[in-house]
Amino acid sequence: SYALTQPPSVSVSPGQTASISCSGDKLGDQYASWYQQKAGQSPVLVIYQETKRPSGIPERFSGSISGNTATLTISGTQAMDEADYYCQAWDSTTVVFGGGTKLTVL
Amino acid sequence: QVTLKESGPVLVRPTETLTLTCTVSGFSLNNARMGVSWIRQPPGKALEWLAHIFSDDEKSYSKSLKSRLTISKDTSEGQVVLTMTNVDPVDTATYYCARWKGSNEFDYWGQGTLVTVSS
């Protein structure tokens, strides 16, 4: 079955740039979305259609796609960005989530 | 203002059937290209998609759980219902419903409801 692969963890120093990858055979044909989930909270959409940012999401969050890999980039990472991040895509009429990446801001 | 709210039992016994309700407001389940998915998250684990219902009442299910799931909606009540048969302790999770607006993403999520399966 279709899978999206993310690194389990990423660490970044405050003010630096964090990059989280998401690989899947059908990415590029299907849009990827990204969600931020802080401890004890529901997921929040931070990037959709690979590069678009919903209103209210800070400009430091951006997305890109290269081949079959989507990347979420957080520029000037802040302590408040520490969270789990999930990518998501559709596979025909079903939905797939990546395994999640824990972002630690050291 | 768009909101989704999950409701259902806190505790379910193994082999029983779990019924969860997602009550939506701020949009209509009849709107073209609108849909709602159910997604769950076991404690400390990743998100897992379960099922989706489209505005035309078309339904889609996780391949691994398809035999145990049924999704339906009551448009007049603004509710989407998920039933899961023959539950097991591994089904212990927070269950979320989320809105899909016809593109790829889920733009609004409910607060989630924690369901524990235990005897």
Q: Say how far apart CA A80 and CA A90 lie, in whole Å.
A: 29
pLDDT greater than 80 at residue A1: no
Please give the pLDDT value at position B117. 98
Percent of chain A with pLDDT over 70: 100
Q: Say how far apart CA A52 and CA A93 lie, in whole Å.
A: 22
Nearest to A42 among B52, B104, B112 (CB): B112
pLDDT greater than 90 at residue B102: no
Per-residue pLDDT tens over the stretch B21-32 = 999 999 999 888
Q: Minimal CA–CA distance to B40: which of B112, B119, B117?
A: B112
| Residues of chain A contacting residue B63, judged by C-beta atoms under 8 Å apart | 1, 94
Residue of B nearest to A32 (CA): B104
pLDDT greater than 90 at residue A29: no
Residue of B nearest to A45 (CA): B107
Q: Looking at per-residue confidence, does B85 or B34 come out higher?
A: B85
Range of weakest confidence among A23-32, A45-54, A67-76, A88-97: A23-32
Residue B104 to residue A30, Cβ atoms within 8 A: yes
Residue B106 to residue A33, Cβ atoms within 8 A: yes
Categorize the per-residue pLDDT at A2 as very low, low, confident or very high, splitting at 50, 70 and 90.
Answer: confident
Please give the pLDDT value at position B101. 83
Per-residue pLDDT tens over the stretch B27-83 = 999 888 889 999 999 999 999 999 999 999 999 999 999 999 999 999 999 999 999
Q: What average pLDDT score do residues A11-20 get?
A: 97
pLDDT greater than 90 at residue A39: yes
Backbone conformation region of residue B107, classed left if phi is above 0, alpha if psi is from -120 to 50, else beta:
alpha
Nearest to A95 among B37, B64, B103 (CB): B37
Categorize the per-residue pLDDT at A68 as very low, low, confident or very high, splitting at 50, 70 and 90.
Answer: very high
Residue B105 to residue A42, Cβ atoms within 8 A: no
Nearest to B63 among A1, A43, A54 (CB): A1
Q: Say how far apart CA B21 and CA A10 lie, in whole Å.
A: 36
Q: Which residue has the tokens 């960005």?
A: A81
| Residues of chain A contacting residue B107, judged by C-beta atoms under 8 Å apart | 45, 48, 54
Query: Using an 8 Å Cβ cutoff, are A101 and A85 in contact?
Result: yes
Backbone conformation region of residue A76, classed left if phi is above 0, alpha if psi is from -120 to 50, else beta:
left
Query: Is residue B116 classed as helix, strand or coil in its secondary structure?
Result: strand
Please give the pLDDT value at position A30. 87
| Residues of chain A contacting residue B62, judged by C-beta atoms under 8 Å apart | 94
Residue A95 to residue B52, Cβ atoms within 8 A: yes
Q: Which residues 6+ apart lie within 8 Å of A16 measured at CB?
A: A76, A77
Please give the pLDDT value at position A101. 98
Q: Does A93 touch chain B (CB under 8 A)?
A: yes
